[in-house]
Amino acid sequence: MALVNTRKMFKMAYDNGYAVGAFNVNNMEITQGIIEAVAEEKAPLILQVSKGARKYAKMSYLRAIIDVVVKENPDIPVAINLDHGDSLDTCRQFVEAGFTSIMIDGSHLPFEQNIALTRQVVEMAHPHDVCVEAELGQLGGIEEDVVGVDDVHAHLADPEQVQEFVKKSGCDSLAIACGTSHGAYKFKTEPKIAFDVIEEVGRRLPGFPLVMHGSSSVLKEFVDLINKYGGNMPNAMGVPEAAVTKASKMAMCKVNIDTDLRLALTAKIRQVFAEKPAEFDPRNYLGPGREAIKQMVKHKLHVLGCAGKAAECS
C-alpha cells in the first residue's frame, strides 16, 4: 500500500470510537519498534517528524526509513505527518518531500492570525491531497522548540471559537488544548483533562476529527528503570492512560505519543549499561531498546482502541 493521508483513518476512528496513534520518529530503531508493533497488532499508523527530528537525522534519511516501512508492510495504512510546523515555508518543504499530513501550529498567534496562517497552509497543501491539522488553545510543557504555557487550564481551547476557526481555515482536523502538556514533567499534581471542553467541541463540530497532543503517559515502569540505573527523573508525571482511552472514545481521532518512546528506549539502554558495563556493541543495547519500544507501542494501540483496525482504514 502506498502512503495514505489521514482522511479515511479519521472517519473510521470517529465513526467507531477509537483513535489512531501518531508516533514521533527520530532514528531507525524507534521506527522499527513502532512498525513491528503496529504490524503485529494490525493497526493503522501515523508516523510524525518534528523540526528536531529533521535537524538530528535529516529529511532524506527519515524518508528513506519510512519508505522501507511502507514497502515492507503493504497491509498497513501509513500516513506521515509534520509535527508542529512553524511556518508556511516549512510546511511547503514537507509537502514537497511527500508527506501526506501537515500540522501547522499557529496556536501562539492571535485568533485571526492563526486562522490566516492555517488557511495559507490549507491552500498550499490541499491541491496535493495533503491533509492539514491545526491547533487551537495552548498546551503546557516543553517539546524541542515548542515551549508551552505554565497554566494549561488558563489556555484551553474555546468551544465558542471552533466552528468559526474550522470554517474559515479549512483545516481537516483540529488539535485542541484540553489540559494536556508536552514532555515528561507534564504536571505537578494529579492531571485533570477537560473532558467538558472535548465534549462541547465535539458537539459543535459533529463528525469532525479532533487531535490530542501531549498525550504520553510517562509510564512508571520506564521512569523507575531510568532512576534505578543512574537516572534522575523525580516527579515525572504524564496523562493517565484511562484518560487517553476516554478521549479516544469521544471525538479524539489522533493521539500523539513521543515522550513514552524516548523513555522506553532510554530505560533499556541504561539497564544494559548497568548490568553489562563491558558492553560496547550498539546492537546489544539498541536492540533491547527497540524491543521495549515495540512492546510499549503494542500496549498503546490497545489503550487507543485501534488494534485490529488496519483493514478498515485502508
**pLDDT in the model for residue 237:** 81
C-alpha grid cell for residue 212?
490530542
**pLDDT in the model for residue 180:** 77
Integer Cα distance of 149 and 135 in angstroms:
14
DSSP structural state of residue 197? H
Give the residue numbers spanning the domain of 48: 7-313
Tell me if 56 is assigned to some domain: yes
Tell me if 197 is assigned to some domain: yes
- How many domains does one find in the chain? 1
Catalytic residue among 67, 83, 89, 196: 83
**pLDDT in the model for residue 234:** 86
User: Block means of pLDDT (10 residues each) for the chain, length 314 residues?
Assistant: 91 98 97 98 97 90 96 97 95 95 94 98 98 86 46 74 98 92 63 90 97 89 95 87 94 95 97 97 98 98 98 93
| 93: nearest Cα among 142, 58, 69, 134 | 58
Q: Residue 62: which CATH number? A: 3.20.20.70
Tell me if 1 is assigned to some domain: no
**pLDDT in the model for residue 141:** 44
Tell me if 2 is assigned to some domain: no
C-alpha grid cell for residue 307?
488494534
Ramachandran assignment for 171, one of left (phi > 0), alpha (psi -120 to 50 degrees), beta (any other): beta
Integer Cα distance of 45 and 20 in angstroms:
7
- Per-residue 3-state assignment (H helix, E strand, C coil) for 132-156: EEEEECCCECEECCEECECCHHHCC
**pLDDT in the model for residue 2:** 72
C-alpha grid cell for residue 245?
482511552
- Residues whose CB falls within 8 Å of the CB of residue 200, separated by 6 or more in sequence, listed in order: 159
What's the angle, vertex CA 57, arms to CA 47 and CA 304, rounded to 5?
20
Tell me if 113 is assigned to some domain: yes
Tell me if 212 is assigned to some domain: yes
Tell me if 276 is assigned to some domain: yes
**pLDDT in the model for residue 66:** 96
What's the angle, vertex CA 48, arms to CA 46 and CA 54, rounded to 5?
155
Tell me if 136 is assigned to some domain: yes
Residue 83 appears among annotated catalytic residues: yes
